[in-house]
Amino acid sequence: MDPALLRERELFKKRALSTPTVEKKKVESKPDVSREEKKKAKPPSAPRLDINTYKTSSGSSQYRFGVLAKIVKHMKTRHQDGETHALTLDEILDETNQLDIGSKVKHWLQTEALVDNPKIEALPDNKFLFKSTYKLKDKKSLLKLLRQHDLKSLGGVLMDDVQESLPHCEKVLKSLLNQNEIVIVQRTVDKKKILFYNNQRTGSLIDEEYQKLWRSVAVDAMDDAKIEEYLEKQGITSMQDNGPKKVAPLKRKKPSSRKKVFKKPRDNEHLADVLETYEDNTLTQKNNI
């Protein structure tokens, strides 16, 4: 190796050792007190509510009314199937597979919900029945109801109410229709079916040709004025006096704004021929005095 290079290397080492070096100490990082205090000051966040667990929780009103709706639907179904005996709350919950409900919901059903429900009848022995619109048991009770409506001119009975009230309704209605005991009419307004009693004593037979003619005339979109106008064109005037007569309202006389002038009554007009004047006599008496 070159001796000149070795000398320069030694000199470089000496210079490096002679120059002082300052070491920088690492600054220890102090924890941020303000951040820790802020973290401690923040209240712990409340746990988020899960929608599914909230809906099925025993305290929510939606869960309560869901249990009640299931009970009412079950009571209606068993009534329509012919099971008309009363049940306790435990028996109802057993049949509806709802034995896992809480004590609060059970107390609410026993004391408030089932007692105040319009479709549930509460009996004195803490038993419950389905309360239908009409108390119908069989075909005879339905015919009796329809006869009473016919005698009192109350019209028909809604099919929905009969289906709700009468056990085995379809079977009973089919039997009555075959015996020509009832008539079913569908309303044009809401398409609901109405049951009427077919009173054959008061009914009269009408030829089928007249029935077809009657049904072929559509008057749904015509009011009374248009029907009357059509009848007048056809030369029929028998319906003019059948409708309700409109009574014209009485016209009240308006009070007159003119003031009445009262004439002053004259004294003793009825004694005009009898009275005498004494003016001349009084003047002559004054002159003499």
Q: Is residue 221 part of a domain?
A: no
Give the residue numbers spanning the domain of 170: 139-200
Q: What's this model's pTM, rounded to 2 decimal places?
A: 0.51
pLDDT at res. 266: 59
Per-residue pLDDT, 193: 92
Residue 147 tokens read as 């006869």
Average pLDDT of each block of 10 consecutive residues along the chain (289 residues)?
77 76 56 57 50 48 91 93 91 92 91 92 91 91 92 89 92 90 88 88 75 80 80 71 57 66 60 62 54
> What pLDDT is attached to residue 45?
55
| Domain assignment present for 63 | yes
| 44 belongs to a structural domain | no
Contacts of 145 (CB under 8 A, 6+ apart): 134, 136, 157
The three-state DSSP-derived secondary structure of 13-29 is HHHHHHCCCCCCCCCCC
Q: Give pLDDT, residue 47.
A: 47
- Residue 161 in any domain: the answer is yes
For residue 216, the model assigns a pLDDT of 84
Last residue of some domain: 98, 130, 162? 130
Residue 71 lies in a domain: yes
pLDDT digits (tens, 9 = 90+) for 18-72: 776 655 555 555 555 566 565 555 555 544 544 344 344 445 788 999 999 999 9
Residue 99 lies in a domain: yes
- Overall number of domains in the chain: 2
Provide the CATH number for the domain around residue 117.
1.10.10.10
**What pLDDT shows up at residue 56?**
46
Query: What was the pLDDT predicted at 231?
Result: 81
Residue that finishes a domain, picked among 69, 97, 130? 130
